[in-house]
């Protein structure tokens, strides 16, 4: 039959794979997700100047720093001169986590704030509207069928 074929053991998928492409490295690597928590990088310094106000507000919001033991893949990436030795800081950003419930409650709060502000602006504009020259004109189109001539 066919004597010029390769043995099945010599055929590998590695030969048919595309060569790997170079990719720009990520500035901030993605942490391994833990169920029930959301992660965020929080600014602790800018241009080597500490930003305690930002960190303090995030801690009061419910964010807590992630320990290196929780994310072992970051052990080599952390800054050796960091003020947060047991936590993960890369380039002035500290990895923090919070329960997912807090994030959904925060999003609901800001959605309500946004809706209230939008309603206030709409009500203010509609109060100034004059029926002779409305600010918002409903644009409705209609079609009618009649006898053709």
Residue 115 pLDDT: 92
pLDDT of residue 113: 94
Give dist(CA 56, CA 99) in Å, integer: 18
d(CA 54, CA 142): 55
pLDDT at 140: 65
**What is the structure's pLDDT at 120?**
86
Write out the two tokens for 112.
Answer: 């309500």
- Look at strands 93-99 and 64-65 and give their pairing: antiparallel
Q: How far is CA 66 from the centre of its chain?
A: 18
pLDDT in tens, 30-70: 888 889 999 999 999 888 888 889 999 999 999 999 998 88
Name residues of the chain where pLDDT drops below 70: 1-2, 6-17, 129, 131, 133-141, 148-149
Q: How far apart, in whole angstroms, are the C-alpha atoms of residue 89 and residue 54?
A: 15
What's the N-to-C CA distance of the chain in angstroms? 82
């Amino acid at each position: 039959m066919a004597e010029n074929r390769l043995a099945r053991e010599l055929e590998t998928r590695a030969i048919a794979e595309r060569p790997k492409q170079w990719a720009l490295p990520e500035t901030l690597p993605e942490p391994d997700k833990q169920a029930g928590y959301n992660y965020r990088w929080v600014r602790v310094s800018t241009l080597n100047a500490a930003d305690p106000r930002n960190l303090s507000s995030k801690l009061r919001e419910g964010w807590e720093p992630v320990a290196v033991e929780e994310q072992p893949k970051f052990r080599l990436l952390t800054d050796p001169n960091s003020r947060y030795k047991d936590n993960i800081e890369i380039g002035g950003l500290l990895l923090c986590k919070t329960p997912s419930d807090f994030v959904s409650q925060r999003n609901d709060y800001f959605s309500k704030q946004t809706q209230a502000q939008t309603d206030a602006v709409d009500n203010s504009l509609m109060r100034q509207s004059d029926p002779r020259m409305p600010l918002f004109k409903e644009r409705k189109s209609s079609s009618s069928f009649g006898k053709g001539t």
